[in-house]
């Protein structure tokens, strides 16, 4: 599971992760022919630079901000550790194109066609037409495809088909009919992930985990036929495959493996992982590399489980990583994992400050408000570290999580433990590129602003830690109940993220946090309560187009958590305030709100533990999907002039090896690119193994 970032400017309120209504399925119309493609535009990037001259933010386009991060302490690593980090980053980038193809079957063709135009067009690039073309391509780079990375709706090109054909002809390019249709027909494959059962979860999703002729019923029947519901150590069926049909019309799995689907990319990934094995910090780390390579070479899910057990037990090295087909948010049925990699260097000082959470994990479980039968008698092997990222790819880049808790298999977590990380230098990058406008705009009063300015950063850090370390590791399923993807189905992801959020929220106002020395006073918890309600009901709506429902799992969970407690608590707990045509929320009784968070946590754990699909559906659909359109328009109007786009993503540092005469790496240097387009083109040229 991963924790996504939503930044309320002026305070690091760090919380866990839109389609039209059924009768309005088409995307916004394309520009009419009367727009002036040749009008000259002034392109001035919004750069945010610190006193030392380092540009933390390099540009903005669409609804995106491009940010940079640094790797503190790089010079303190041993040469072999730097070499290991370099190999792991190369392995991650080698698999980058898999994410494009997973997101949509025509993404690579479209991206390559547009990159050919971007690189070779010799015409006027100062015009509005070119600016719109460039923005469209940058949005594709940012989202790893033509669908928005968060809302799942298609990016709308601001240029018309005639202008596109002019550009294409100028570079002697071509594009297939269906790929062209994907760009310019608003109704064609317009939703990457469809979560409305009535629309057909598979049929309505453009994501490339299922061939276009596979139906929801066929996919569900297939997974049921291969699953062993009696196993206490179930395999992650479907994690590394695409469902298609053979000539006889039978469902088959196209397995991601060397020699299979994505074989060319995975062969390169394995090449670099083998080099990493040669400079591993210890035997257990080397064993994990070997089993990950075996998984990629064979596609065997048993090898994946063995790898995860090796990986979660390797706790001694300074270098760690995430690499695999991991998160299932992009699969409407919750089976197939998106390719993701993050390379991490431990921040020992910051990790030591949070070690107390690991040491007290059993106390948190024992004192949770969930029912006793849903508590773990023994919480095993939780490891929490603050890390500094050295490189990311796939589902983690350019838009990155801020915290991750793995492995996802419940039985491995129960028997062998889990690892949780907070991405420290990513948070620093966000903070250094931020401003204060959102906080001032949506906070109810000066007291709330002052509390956030004083305690918001620590509150966000503690929320991340509690969410990942305690939240995802807590609770257990009842005997005989299937995995959440089998029982709760399309609501499993948002229920799990909301459950982890509720654990964090419940304990952030517990005196135990002060007793453990994690915070000086409960004002920290109050700051997080303020931010969570403010975000869940107001601030996050700036990410949606007017009229859209909430689709993304993390946005949904913030909405249903905050919406439920507001309704159940009434005005005595959280007052809705209308002032000067603007809506605010004012928490009147923090202790009562904590009780409500605990009650909701108990119910959500019951839903997960018992596999109660009907209750999951009622909770999410009632509080987490629909948006008050009056409030939504108000939020869009209030944020329109703040000058900061709602989504941030990162340019990776560039690792440059030094070689001796024999070709051996003797050192690795770090540089910090500041041109997003150049990095994307470099990646396509260097790691485009699926062309």
Which has more confidence, 318 or 646?
318
Cβ atoms of 52 and 127 closer than 8 Å: no
Residue 38: what pLDDT?
52
Cβ atoms of 347 and 388 closer than 8 Å: yes
Cβ atoms of 484 and 605 closer than 8 Å: no
Q: How many helices (H) and strands (E) does the chain have?
A: 25, 16
Query: CA-to-CA distance for 514 and 7, rounded, in angstroms?
Result: 25
CA 671 to chain CA centroid, Å, is: 25
Query: CA-to-CA distance for 477 and 157, rounded, in angstroms?
Result: 46
Contacts of 352 (CB under 8 A, 6+ apart): none
Query: CA-to-CA distance for 209 and 205, rounded, in angstroms?
Result: 9
265: left (phi over 0), alpha (psi -120 to 50) or beta: alpha
Note the pLDDT tens digit of each residue in 392-423.
999 999 999 988 989 999 899 989 999 988 89
Residue 27: what pLDDT?
34
Average pLDDT, the chain: 91
| Three-class secondary structure of residue 76 per DSSP | helix
Q: Stretch 78-92: mean pLDDT, rounded?
A: 98
623: left (phi over 0), alpha (psi -120 to 50) or beta: alpha
CB-based burial, 150-161: b 16+ in 10 Å, e otherwise: bbbbbbbbbbbe
Note the pLDDT tens digit of each residue in 558-617.
999 999 999 999 999 999 999 999 999 999 999 999 999 999 999 999 999 999 999 999
Cβ atoms of 251 and 289 closer than 8 Å: no
Residue with tokens 């999951």: 616
Cβ atoms of 375 and 365 closer than 8 Å: yes
**Alpha-carbon distance values, 39 to 31, 158, 166, 459 (Å):** 15, 14, 16, 47
DSSP state of 393: E
Residue 29: what pLDDT?
39
pLDDT band at 37 (very low <50, low <70, confident <90, very high): low
Domains and CATH numbers, the chain: 2-17+259-648 (3.30.540.30), 22-76+96-187+658-687 (no CATH)
Pick from 184, 181, 121: which is nearest to 158 by CA?
184
Note the pLDDT tens digit of each residue in 306-326.
999 999 999 999 999 999 999
In order, the DSSP letters of 159-224 are S-HHHHHHHHHHTT----HHHHHHHH-TTTT-BSS---GGG-TTTT---TTB-TT--HHHHHHHHH
Note the pLDDT tens digit of each residue in 231-259.
999 999 999 999 999 999 999 999 999 99
**Alpha-carbon distance values, 375 to 216, 415, 419, 421, 471 (Å):** 34, 14, 19, 23, 12
pLDDT band at 32 (very low <50, low <70, confident <90, very high): very low
Note the pLDDT tens digit of each residue in 170-192.
999 999 999 999 999 999 999 99
pLDDT band at 363 (very low <50, low <70, confident <90, very high): very high
Query: CA-to-CA distance for 413 and 483, rounded, in angstroms?
Result: 13
Query: CA-to-CA distance for 564 and 545, rounded, in angstroms?
Result: 23
The structure tokens listed for 32 are 């009419």
Cβ atoms of 77 and 344 closer than 8 Å: no
**pLDDT higher than 50, residue 391:** yes
Q: Stretch 2-17: mean pLDDT, rounded?
A: 43
E strand residue ranges, 231-273: 241-245, 251-255
E strand residue ranges, 96-141: none
Query: CA-to-CA distance for 327 and 339, rounded, in angstroms?
Result: 8
Note the pLDDT tens digit of each residue in 284-299.
999 999 999 999 999 9
Cβ atoms of 96 and 394 closer than 8 Å: yes
For the chain, percent of residues with pLDDT exceeding 90: 80
Residue 20: what pLDDT?
29
For the chain, percent of residues with pLDDT exceeding 70: 93
Q: Stretch 163-173: mean pLDDT, rounded?
A: 98
Cβ atoms of 386 and 636 closer than 8 Å: no
pLDDT band at 16 (very low <50, low <70, confident <90, very high): very low
**pLDDT higher than 70, residue 372:** yes
Burial of 681 (0-12, 13-18, 19+ CB in 10 A): middle
Q: Stretch 332-341: mean pLDDT, rounded?
A: 97
Handedness of CA 59, 60, 66, 67 (dihedral sign): positive
pLDDT band at 3 (very low <50, low <70, confident <90, very high): low
Burial of 543 (0-12, 13-18, 19+ CB in 10 A): buried
**pLDDT higher than 90, residue 431:** no
Which has more confidence, 36 or 458?
458
Residue 585 pairs with which residues in a beta bridge?
Answer: 576
Query: CA-to-CA distance for 140 and 147, rounded, in angstroms?
Result: 7
Note the pLDDT tens digit of each residue in 373-382.
999 999 877 7
Query: CA-to-CA distance for 119 and 136, rounded, in angstroms?
Result: 15
Which has more confidence, 51 or 187?
187
- Which secondary structure element, helix H or strand E, spans residue 120, and what is its range? helix 107-120
Phi then psi dihedrals of residue 452, to 5 deg: -70, -40
The structure tokens listed for 35 are 């727009």
Pick from 378, 380, 379, 398: which is nearest to 389 by CA?
398
Query: CA-to-CA distance for 168 and 189, rounded, in angstroms?
Result: 23
Pick from 342, 291, 292: which is nearest to 320 by CA?
342
């Amino acid at each position: 599971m991963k924790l996504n970032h939503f930044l309320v400017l002026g305070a690091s309120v760090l919380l866990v992760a839109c389609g039209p209504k059924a009768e309005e399925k088409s995307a916004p119309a394309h520009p009419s022919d009367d727009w002036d493609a040749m009008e000259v535009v002034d392109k001035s990037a919004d750069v945010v630079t610190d006193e030392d001259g380092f540009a933390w933010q390099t540009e903005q386009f669409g609804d995106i901000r491009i940010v940079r991060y640094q790797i503190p302490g790089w010079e303190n690593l041993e040469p072999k550790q730097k070499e290991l980090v370099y190999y792991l980053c190369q392995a991650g980038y080698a698999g980058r194109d898999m994410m494009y193809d997973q997101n949509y079957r025509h993404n690579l063709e479209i991206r390559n066609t547009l990159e050919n135009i971007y690189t070779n067009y010799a015409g006027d690039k100062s015009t509005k037409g070119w600016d719109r073309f460039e923005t469209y391509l940058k949005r594709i780079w940012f989202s790893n495809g033509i669908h928005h990375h968060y809302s799942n709706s298609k990016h709308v090109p601001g240029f018309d088909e005639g202008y596109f054909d002019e550009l294409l002809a100028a570079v002697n390019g071509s594009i297939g009919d269906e790929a062209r249709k994907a760009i310019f027909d608003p109704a064609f494959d317009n939703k990457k992930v469809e979560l409305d059962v009535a629309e057909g979860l598979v049929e309505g999703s453009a994501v490339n985990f299922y061939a276009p002729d596979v139906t929801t019923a066929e996919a569900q029947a297939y997974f049921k036929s291969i699953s062993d519901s009696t196993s206490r150590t179930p395999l992650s069926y479907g994690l590394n495959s695409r469902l298609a049909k053979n000539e006889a019309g039978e469902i088959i799995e196209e397995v991601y493996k060397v020699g299979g689907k994505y074989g060319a990319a995975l062969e390169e990934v394995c090449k670099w992982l083998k080099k990493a094995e040669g400079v591993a910090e210890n035997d257990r780390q080397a064993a994990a590399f070997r089993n990950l390579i075996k998984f990629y070479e064979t596609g065997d899910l048993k090898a994946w489980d063995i790898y995860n057990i090796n990986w979660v037990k390797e706790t001694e090295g300074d270098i760690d990583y995430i690499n695999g087909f991991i998160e299932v948010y992009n699969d409407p049925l919750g089976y197939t994992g998106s390719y993701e990699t993050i390379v991490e260097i431990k921040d020992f000082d910051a990790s030591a400050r949070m070690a107390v959470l690991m040491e007290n994990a059993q106390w948190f479980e024992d004192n949770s408000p969930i029912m006793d039968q849903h508590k773990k008698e023994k919480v095993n092997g939780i490891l929490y570290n603050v890390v500094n990222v050295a490189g990311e790819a796939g589902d983690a880049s350019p838009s990155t999580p801020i915290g991750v808790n793995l492995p996802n298999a419940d039985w491995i977590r129960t028997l062998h433990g889990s690892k949780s990380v907070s991405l420290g230098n990513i948070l620093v990058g966000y903070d250094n590129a931020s401003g204060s406008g959102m906080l001032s705009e949506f906070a109810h009063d000066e007291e709330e602003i002052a509390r956030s300015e004083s305690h918001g950063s620590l509150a966000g850090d503690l929320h991340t830690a509690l969410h990942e370390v305690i939240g995802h590791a807590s609770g257990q399923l009842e005997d005989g109940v299937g995995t959440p993807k089998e029982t709760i189905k399309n609501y499993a992801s948002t229920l799990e993220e909301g459950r982890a959020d509720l654990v964090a929220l419940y304990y952030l106002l517990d005196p135990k946090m002060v007793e453990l020395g994690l915070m000086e006073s409960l004002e920290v918890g109050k700051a997080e309560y303020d931010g969570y309600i403010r975000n869940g009901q107001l601030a996050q709506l700036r990410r949606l187009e007017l009229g859209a429902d909430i689709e993304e799992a993390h946005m949904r969970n913030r909405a249903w958590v905050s919406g439920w407690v507001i309704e159940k608590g009434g005005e005595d707990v959280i007052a809705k305030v209308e002032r000067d045509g603007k809506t605010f929320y004012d928490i009147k009784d923090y202790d009562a709100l904590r009780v409500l968070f605990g009650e909701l946590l108990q119910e959500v754990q019951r839903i997960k533990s018992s596999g109660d699909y009907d209750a999951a559906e009622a909770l999410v659909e009632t509080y987490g999907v629909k948006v008050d359109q009056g409030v939504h328009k108000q939020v869009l109007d209030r944020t329109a002039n703040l000058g900061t786009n709602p989504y941030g993503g990162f340019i990776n540092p560039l690792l440059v090896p030094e070689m001796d005469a024999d070709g051996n790496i003797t050192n690795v240097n770090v540089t910090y690119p500041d041109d997003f387009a150049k990095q994307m083109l470099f990646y396509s040229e260097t790691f485009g193994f699926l062309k």
